Structure 1
Amino acid sequence: QKGMMRPFHPKFPFIPVNNVSGEIVEVGSAVREFKVGDKVVSKLDFWTAGGLAEYVATSDKLTVARPAGISAADAAGVPVAGLTALQALKAIGTKFDGSGTSGGADVLITAASSGVGTYAVQLAKLGNHRVTATCGARNLGLVAGLGADEVLDYKTPEGAALSSPSGKKYDYIVNISNKNKWSVFKPRLSSHGRVVDVAPNFGNFVASVVTLFSRTKKLSLVSLKMSKEDLGLLLELMREGKLRTVVDSRHPFEKAADAWARSLSGHATGKVIVEM
């Protein structure tokens, strides 16, 4: 149930390259959904990965069709970063079909200029939430342009304390930075506020266990699960012009080492893409 395709590769720090977008050049005998020539997006198996190659083998269970009008480079950023953001927003009850609470919620998104963060801000606004976001000073305008209502420089005292400029408490905090602590989150939450952490450090992992027994403020962890339905939703939102991939930089395959260095620098805004 595997096919071969020539991919475009997003690059993620600390994990193997496991997102690809490209064209199918060969299919296995059991594959029924796809054929040679189809444009697709795929999340490779985490343990084998191997996306930084001219051709890769992937499962049809981890692959969806890429809609016309979406470039391979833009689609390549979606399977991990986009899915992580979507599943974090769905974990706080966000709806994207207009059936959610009309007033939305007050939501804080940390590391909003990261790959996951840029998707999370856009998805939160699509869910009708009021969004406060943190990022570095050079990206304040970009994050505001993605729809954030308030943007904090995380290096300022207010940003480090996650303090809303309007003084509001947050109903939800979507934490994408592994440097933030429960002790900082807790005083910023509303009476029944909740933290959804996609990048937990050890302290937050412990807090997630402790707060299981709390009737008020809680911290819960979100781990990525591959969902063809969710991936299809993200690509449809992108096709409709409601979601976009923020691309930090593009690198030819011959300079993949530069892409790797850019990712590991910790200063990338959005996704780093390797093309061939």
Structure 2
Amino acid sequence: MAGKIMQAVQYDSYGGGAAALKHVEVPVPTPKKDEVLLKVEATSINPLDCKIQKGMFRPLLPPKFPFIPATDVTGEVVEVGSNVKSFKAGDKVVAMLSTKSGGGLAEYAVPKESLTVSRPAEVSAAEGAGLLIAGLTALQALVNPAEVKLNGTGPRKNILVTAASGGVGHYAVQLAKLGNAHVTATCGARNFDFVKSLGADEILDYKIPEGAALKSPSGQKYDAVINCTTGIPWSTFEPNLSSSGKVIDLTPGASSMWTFAVKKLTFSKKQLVPFLLNAKKENLELLVRLVKEGKLKTVIDSKFPLSKAEDAWSRSIDGHATGKIFVEP
């Protein structure tokens, strides 16, 4: 593929939202020895992508401009690096690109073999692309801090999932139910039926006082909260937690870190746990298998061609997607 040109979407500086995205022609990347070159079939847009553009992680992300955003892709292997043993040209895969290098909003991308897994025919390109940041976050939060056993063998836990109709939330509800948890979920009234269809036992409308207070309608105290939203103070969570309940904060800010420190220093049994994704190949393989077996579904909010990537970006910034947003080159 050396010397070939591809279509891509990039931005040249922080800020600007969808209007700052530029359609460009750039060289097709060459895979390093531990990478595979994919012809991209679907790319998932995550809130993280828009936060990076805003400059919330400067100066670390992005490390330089211009920057082609997005990390979650599916595609067909075109070429493999010299050390790659697991894949060959023609293989269909699900892959996560480095957050530093990005590259998902393009016709071709180069993930490392270590975060690339096979995609069976039963899993569509979009279904696979949704599983990366969002699916891996939901899985890790439930299995690690929340201690839910996905095979349903552990003690039954009461789990609260906030923003349950969004990308991470809709996976978290389904995975928690696989783990035999009792799930309370928050969402807007328009998504009640949708979140119920994912398996939620109880639903709270976050826009009304009762829902904003996060109290379980049946009086459950939560063993763990998968907090997929922002702006809820610890004082709202604490009275609703069981004696050793945890709030797993997926987007921790300064106040979260302060609460985390105070709870640690005072040996409180109720904890706030700041979350940091540790993407693992075996977890991605598990998620792909669950989709293949019909035990987990990726809900598609919308799909856009690469030529309309800025519309997908606007949809993500809007923050009201039901499920996942995709760009398909």
TM-score by length of 2: 0.81
Q: Distance in 1 between matches of 2:72 and 2:261?
A: 31
- Structure 1 unpaired stretches of 5+: none
1:229 aligns with 2:285: no
Aligned with 1:99 (options 146, 153, 174): 153
Q: Distance in 2 between matches of 1:98 and 1:115?
A: 23
Corresponding residue for residue 17 of structure 1: 70
- Runs (4+) off by over 4 Å: none
1:56 aligns with 2:109: yes
Q: Distance in 2 between matches of 1:98 and 1:272?
A: 30
One-letter code aligned to 2:109: V
One-letter code aligned to 1:96: L
Q: Distance in 1 between matches of 2:301 and 2:236?
A: 29
C-alpha deviation, 1:225, in angstroms: 0.8
1:6 aligns with 2:58: no
Q: Distance in 1 between matches of 2:98 and 2:107?
A: 17
CA contact (8 A) 1:6 1:25 kept: yes
Q: Distance in 2 between matches of 1:252 and 1:33?
A: 30
* RMSD over equivalenced CA pairs, Å: 1.1
One-letter code aligned to 2:169: G
Larger Rg: 2
Q: Distance in 2 between matches of 1:73 and 1:190?
A: 38
Q: Distance in 2 between matches of 1:261 and 1:138?
A: 21
The number of equivalent residue pairs is 274
Q: Distance in 1 between matches of 2:254 and 2:189?
A: 28
C-alpha deviation, 1:40, in angstroms: 0.4
CA contact (8 A) 2:148 2:157 kept: no
1:140 aligns with 2:173: no
- Find the residue that maps to 2:207 and give its secondary structure: coil
1:153 aligns with 2:194: no
Q: Distance in 1 between matches of 2:127 and 2:304?
A: 14
Q: Distance in 1 between matches of 2:273 and 2:81?
A: 40
Aligned with 2:220 (options 163, 168, 173): 168
- Find the residue that maps to 1:99 and give its secondary structure: coil
C-alpha deviation, 1:129, in angstroms: 0.3
CA contact (8 A) 1:113 1:270 kept: yes
- Find the residue that maps to 1:36 and give its secondary structure: coil
- Find the residue that maps to 1:193 and give its secondary structure: strand
Aligned with 2:140 (options 82, 87, 90): 87
Q: Distance in 2 between matches of 1:186 and 1:82?
A: 27
Corresponding residue for residue 197 of structure 1: 249
One-letter code aligned to 2:217: P
Corresponding residue for residue 28 of structure 2: none
CA contact (8 A) 1:173 1:196 kept: yes
Q: Distance in 1 between matches of 2:153 and 2:158?
A: 17
CA contact (8 A) 1:87 1:222 kept: no
1:258 aligns with 2:311: yes
Corresponding residue for residue 59 of structure 2: none
Aligned with 2:302 (options 224, 249, 252): 249
Corresponding residue for residue 207 of structure 1: 259
C-alpha deviation, 1:167, in angstroms: 2.0
Q: Distance in 2 between matches of 1:137 and 1:215?
A: 35
Counting aligned pairs with the same residue, the percent is 53
C-alpha deviation, 1:6, in angstroms: 1.3
C-alpha deviation, 1:215, in angstroms: 3.7
Q: Distance in 2 between matches of 1:107 and 1:98?
A: 14
- Find the residue that maps to 1:128 and give its secondary structure: coil
- Find the residue that maps to 1:58 and give its secondary structure: coil
- Find the residue that maps to 2:321 and give its secondary structure: coil
Deviation track 1:128-184 (CA, whole Å, cap 9, x = no partner) reads 000000011111110011000001111010111111111221111111112211111
CA contact (8 A) 1:179 1:201 kept: no
Q: Distance in 2 between matches of 1:179 and 1:157?
A: 15
One-letter code aligned to 1:44: L
One-letter code aligned to 1:200: P
CA contact (8 A) 2:143 2:150 kept: no
Corresponding residue for residue 30 of structure 1: 83
Q: Distance in 2 between matches of 1:111 and 1:166?
A: 20
Q: Distance in 1 between matches of 2:224 and 2:122?
A: 34
Q: Distance in 1 between matches of 2:252 and 2:235?
A: 13
